[in-house]
Amino acid sequence: MSEGDHLRQYRLSGAPVLSSDAMVPPVGFFDSGVGGLSVARAFRSYAPLEPILYFADTAWFPYGGRPAAEIRKRAFAALHALIARGAKLVVVACNTASAAALSDLRAAFPVPIVGMVPGVKPAAAHTRSGVVLVLATPNTLDGELFRRVREEYGSGVHVRAVAGHGLAELVEEGRVGTREARVALERLLGPHVATGADVVVLGCTHYHFLMSDIRAIFPELTVVDTSDAVARRALAVLREEGLVAPDGAGPATFELIASGPRARFETVARSLVPELFAAHAETTA
3-state secondary structure the chain: CCHHHHHHHCCCCCCCCCCCCCCCCCEEEEECCCCCHHHHHHHHHHCCCCCEEEEECHHHCCCCCCCHHHHHHHHHHHHHHHHHCCCCEEEECCHHHHHHHHHHHHHHCCCCEEECCCCHHHHHHHCCCCEEEEEECHHHHHCHHHHHHHHHHCCCCEEEEEECCCHHHHHHCCCCCCHHHHHHHHHHHHHHHHCCCCEEEECCHHHHHHHHHHHHHCCCCEEEECHHHHHHHHHHHHHHCCCCCCCCCCCCCEEEEECCCCHHHHHHHHHHCHHHHCCCEEEEC
What number of CA atoms fall less than 13 Å from residue 138's CA on the CB side?
A: 9
Judge whether 135 and 204 are in contact, CB under 8 Å: yes
Does 279 have pLDDT greater than 80? no
List 159's β-bridge partners, or say none.
Answer: 132
pLDDT for the residue numbered 280: 53
Return d(Cα 25, Cα 36) in angstroms, integer: 20
Which is catalytic among the residues 92, 204, 224, 268? Answer: 204
β-pair partners for 254: 52, 281
Q: How confident is the model at residue 283 (pLDDT cuts 50, 70, 90)?
A: low
pLDDT tier for residue 241 given thresholds of 50, 70 and 90: very high
CATH level 2 (architecture), domain 120-225: 3-Layer(aba) Sandwich (3.40)
pLDDT score, position 284: 55
144-192 pLDDT, tens digit per residue, is 999 999 999 999 999 999 999 999 999 999 999 999 999 999 999 999 9
User: Which range is least confidently modeled, 59-73, 75-89, 222-236, 244-258?
Assistant: 244-258
Query: Smallest Cα–Cα separation from 166: which of 151, 187, 190?
Result: 187
User: Region 133-139: what's the mean pLDDT?
Assistant: 97
Q: Is 204 a catalytic residue?
A: yes
% of the chain at pLDDT higher than 70: 89
- For 58-87, what is each residue's pLDDT tens digit? 999 999 889 999 999 999 999 999 999 999
Q: Output the pTM of the full model.
A: 0.89
CA dist., res. 94 & res. 117, Å (int) = 9
Of the listed ranges 64-73, 90-99, 235-244, 247-256, the least confidently predicted one is: 247-256
pLDDT at 262 (0 to 100) = 86
Examine the pLDDT at 124 and tell me if it is beyond 90.
Answer: yes
Which residues lie closer than 8 Å to 114 by C-beta, 6 or more apart? 89, 90, 91, 92, 230, 233, 234, 237
Task: Tell me the domain boundaries of the chain.
Answer: 3-116+228-284, 120-225
Active-site residue, selected from the candidate residues 52, 79, 91, 94: 94
Distance CA 261, CA 271 (A): 17
Q: Is 94 a catalytic residue?
A: yes
Given a contact cutoff of 8 angstroms between Cβ atoms, the answer to whether 210 and 180 are in contact is: no
What CA–CA distance (Å, rounded) separates 87 from 79? 9
Give all strands of the β-sheet with 52-56 in edge-to-edge order: 113-115, 89-92, 27-31, 52-56, 254-258, 281-284
Confidence check: pLDDT of 10 > 60: no
Matching fold, domains 3-116+228-284 and 120-225: yes
Tell me, which fold does domain 3-116+228-284 have in CATH? Answer: Rossmann fold (3.40.50)
